Structure 1
Amino acid sequence: MSSAAAGPAEPSPRTVVPMVETVLAFVNTRADGGGRQELFGDGQAFAAWLAERDEFGGEFGGETVATDADAAAARELRDALVTLLLAHSGDEGSLGESLRHAEQHLRRAGTLYPLATVVTAGGVELASPQAGVPRVFGTVLAAVTTFAQTGDWGRIKACRNPPCHFGFFDRTRNGSGLYCSTGCGSQVSMRNYRRRQRRGSDAPPEA
């Protein structure tokens, strides 16, 4: 469940709020070739991840039974979100057709996992009225929707260093962060440097 209670002062754009944590926890479940393992590989793995998340705050509604088909749907939703986060980082490979497909998938997800507006004296929040795995997906979409209304949706990004693509919250003052860590930024800089060196060595000698 993602809340947007009225009253308290708005958080700093450099503060990671619970909605951001929900989104990043969901997208940072993929294998990256650098040691992180796929956590949505099958229904059992997906259910184990959900159980672990619910130990921290019960955001997904308690124990959930998940099938292999549910895990596949989770991967599809996650990968669509990662494509959007890469677009936030200006990654060229995530633009064009890839971005259109991701946005279309998320529109379909919005119809499959609708949200309900919950109004109380303390504020207003979006929540999934469904149960089980649909509630999980709805909760992720509620977190995205609620945070996007703050105007800082573009600060949730995916690292431009392939194959990392780790989701992160850009805390820079002007929102210009492109990498999840200085290590990833250094790797990209070194690759670019070596590429320029190779191009220079391939150039024909001057007459």
Structure 2
Amino acid sequence: MVSLQVIEDFLNTVDERTFKRHGESHVPGERLTSPQALADWLTDRGLDFGNSPPRAADLETAIALRTALRQALVADTGAAAGLAEHPLRLEPDASGGLRLVATSGPAWLNAIVETVAGSVARGEWSRIKLCAAPDCRWAFYDVSRNGRGRWCTMEICGNRHKTRTYRERRRHEA
């Protein structure tokens, strides 16, 4: 199983941010642009794709899973909707317990699906969120005490929101 940090990175392989910071417009982009780009991303995170590098169909599957998981975060429906196309089963593990096993295909894809499913089972998935700023939508792991964090970073998105709210309130008072 991989870490939730890898899942966060996977969700952020598409960058939808369009805000301006210090007068510079952020340029959105897609990191999974080819099977080779997928292979590079997997290699950088230690995810095994065996002797056969990812193909175009693998790229499509990865993007479809990422899209479904991001949509589940937006709709706040949990990860079940995102995992609907990826079968899971329980298998005995070495300690005599049970573990979730994905049977989606390539080992790297199974590792991602198993990590998401495991995080749901442990109650950790609810801490994976998309930034509430409509011009950001960056995925982040909410480390706030009560689990109600809304911004990927308080210094950027949270501050921009609070500044807008303050200016709006001042404008209405005037």
Count matched residues.
Answer: 165
Matched residue of 1:149: which SS? helix
Residue 29 of structure 1 is matched in structure 2 by 13
Higher relative contact order (CA 8 A, sep 6+): 1
Structure 2 CA distance, aligned partners of 1:106 and 1:79?
11
1:110 aligns with 2:113: no
1:185 aligns with 2:158: yes
Aligned-residue Cα RMSD (Å) equals 3.1
* Mapping for residues 118-129 of structure 1, pairs under 5 Å: 118-121=92-95, 124-129=98-103
1:138 shift after superposition: 2.2
Residue 30 of structure 2 is matched in structure 1 by 38
1:61 shift after superposition: 4.8
Distance 1:143 1:104, change over 3 A: closer
Q: Write the letter of the residue equivalent to 1:110.
A: H
Structure 2 CA distance, aligned partners of 1:190 and 1:121?
53
Q: Which runs of 5+ in 2 are unaligned?
A: 18-25
* Mapping for residues 1-207 of structure 1, pairs under 5 Å: 1=1, 18=3, 20-33=4-17, 34-35=26-27, 37-54=29-46, 59-62=47-50, 64-88=52-76, 104=81, 106-107=83-84, 109-111=85-87, 114-115=88-89, 117-121=91-95, 124-129=98-103, 131-132=105-106, 135-182=107-154, 183-193=156-166, 200=172
Deviations 1:145-200 (A, max 9, x none): 111111232111111112321111111111110011011111223344555677x4
1:67 shift after superposition: 2.6
Higher strand share: 2
Structure 1 CA distance, aligned partners of 2:67 and 2:103?
24
Deviations 1:112-166 (A, max 9, x none): xx4552411275433345653xx33222121111111112321111111123211
Q: Which runs of 5+ in 1 are unaligned?
A: 3-17, 89-98, 202-207
Structure 2 CA distance, aligned partners of 1:160 and 1:146?
25
Q: Write the letter of the residue equivalent to 2:99.
A: E
Distance 1:71 1:193, change over 3 A: farther
After the TM superposition, which segments of 4 or more aligned residues of structure 1 sit over 6 Å from their partners? none
Matched residue of 1:110: which SS? coil
Q: Write the letter of the residue equivalent to 1:106.
A: L
1:49 shift after superposition: 0.9
Higher helix share: 1
Distance 1:191 1:117, change over 3 A: farther
Percent identity reads 30
- TM normalised by structure 1 equals 0.64
